[in-house]
């Protein structure tokens, strides 16, 4: 068995890069929208068969056992090559949670089927009135014998229509502090009483869903971490999420597309455009330098400080400004949906613009991230 962590970072990077270049479909590079399971499952299966599907999982559970620094390299190489994101909640969220907090029976039941792709997981956290204030969730689970009966509604569940299983935060006690009355449940998506309804976005895709629970019976054995301990369980899933959401790759890619467009249509002849572009280029360069600072902490095995929240704010808001300038530079063509011809090249400008808006919300809205920075970093009153 290959000892990946014994390799130098550069040697591992070259092997990872070659694996991606040799196996990832060219037609799926830099997708303009989130890919559905049917579109990208072959890539998932290819990784699974080669032993590359769960790089961060321990070897004993079917993973590669990569140290944090090597895991970041793997993510960076995928981003650099334009690899589309597969439905990966099983790999990045629920799998690690089960490894850390699940019972031996839960590990044996769920982990192998995540590795093979037999189980595809979706997240059911947010609700219509519980988004950034997630602890206000109202989806209720009442114990009835050896089952919980679940009733309520979830929203913004990404690609839930492709999921075979869902992990759900439910309220199991209304008489305690709201964070203390929440339980974490694993739910088979084919259980009677579950309705999944896709939501069509302004960008023209249906990657988000509403999920309705109507007297859904879930075995009590499917609780992770203990009854009323779900808030703590959910927090263990954060892991590297904040640092990956703050990756400079998305604004870097968008800036490259903006530069290509500007060259084609002669936008650099306009001094005002050139000034705006240069400011954005410097912002992306500064973001990249900041990102490296935090990845070095991870490489050393250190604990990320609260001020890592500035990465997500910086990355997503820079991306939004780039997308806005792309629309502005394209003139009348900037408001057209779909692939648009711009001086001999085609670009789906509005998709960048549409996707830049929710990027500031998901993963903890930027307002919430600023509150974290104000309290935990600047010691300002809450």
- Prediction pTM value: 0.84
Domains of the chain: 4-86 (no CATH), 121-233 (2.40.110.10), 241-377 (1.20.140.10)
pLDDT grade for 146, boundaries at 50, 70 and 90: very high
210 is catalytic: no
8 A C-beta contact, residue 21 and residue 93: no
End-to-end CA distance of the chain: 51
**pLDDT tens digits, 63-89:** 999 988 898 899 889 988 989 989 999
**pLDDT tens digits, 231-248:** 989 876 665 566 777 888
pLDDT grade for 175, boundaries at 50, 70 and 90: very high
**Rounded to an integer, what distance in angstroms lies between the CA atom of residue 344 and that of residue 326?**
16
* Exposure of 140 in the CB half-sphere (CA atoms within 13 A): 8
**pLDDT tens digits, 94-116:** 999 999 999 999 999 999 999 99
Phi, psi of 335 (to 5 degrees): -100, 10
- For residue 263, what is the enclosing H or E element? helix 249-265
* Token reading at 261: 């467009």
Q: Which of 79, 140, 180, 241 is catalytic?
A: 241
């Amino acid at each position: 068995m290959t000892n990946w962590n014994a390799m130098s970072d550069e040697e591992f990077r070259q092997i990872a890069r070659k694996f991606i270049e040799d196996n990832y479909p060219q037609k799926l590079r830099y997708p303009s929208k989130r890919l559905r399971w049917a579109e990208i499952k072959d890539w998932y299966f290819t990784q699974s068969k080669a032993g590359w599907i769960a790089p961060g999982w321990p070897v004993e559970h079917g993973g590669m056992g990569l140290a944090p620094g090597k895991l970041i390299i793997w993510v960076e190489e995928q981003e650099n090559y334009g690899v589309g994101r597969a439905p990966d909640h099983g790999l990045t969220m629920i799998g690690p949670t089960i490894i850390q907090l699940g019972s031996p029976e839960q590990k044996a039941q769920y982990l192998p089927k995540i590795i093979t792709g037999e189980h595809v997981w979706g997240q059911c956290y947010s609700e219509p009135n519980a988004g950034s204030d997630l602890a206000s969730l109202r989806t209720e689970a009442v114990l009835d014998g050896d089952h919980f009966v679940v009733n309520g509604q979830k929203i913004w569940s990404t690609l839930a229509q492709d999921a075979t299983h869902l992990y759900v935060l439910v309220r199991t006690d209304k008489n305690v502090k709201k964070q203390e009355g929440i339980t974490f449940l694993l739910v088979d998506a084919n259980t009677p009483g579950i309705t999944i309804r896709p939501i069509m976005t302004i960008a023209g895709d249906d990657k988000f869903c509403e999920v309705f629970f109507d007297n859904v019976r879930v075995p009590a054995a499917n609780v992770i971490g203990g009854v009323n301990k779900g808030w703590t369980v959910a927090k263990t899933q954060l892991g590297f999420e904040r640092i990956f959401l703050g990756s400079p790759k998305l604004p870097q890619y968008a800036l490259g597309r903006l530069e290509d467009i500007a060259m084609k249509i002669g936008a650099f002849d306009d001094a005002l455009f050139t000034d705006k572009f240069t400011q954005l280029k410097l912002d992306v360069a500064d973001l990249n330098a900041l990102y490296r600072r935090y990845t070095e902490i991870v490489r050393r095995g250190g604990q990320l400080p609260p001020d890592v929240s500035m990465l997500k704010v910086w990355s997503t808001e820079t991306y939004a400004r780039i997308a806005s300038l792309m629309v502005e530079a394209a003139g009348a063509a900037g408001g057209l949906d779909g692939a648009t011809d711009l001086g001999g090249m085609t670009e789906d400008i509005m998709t960048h613009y549409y996707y830049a808006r929710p990027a500031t919300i998901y993963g903890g809205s930027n307002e919430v991230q600023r509150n974290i920075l104000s309290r935990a970093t600047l010691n300002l009153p809450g």
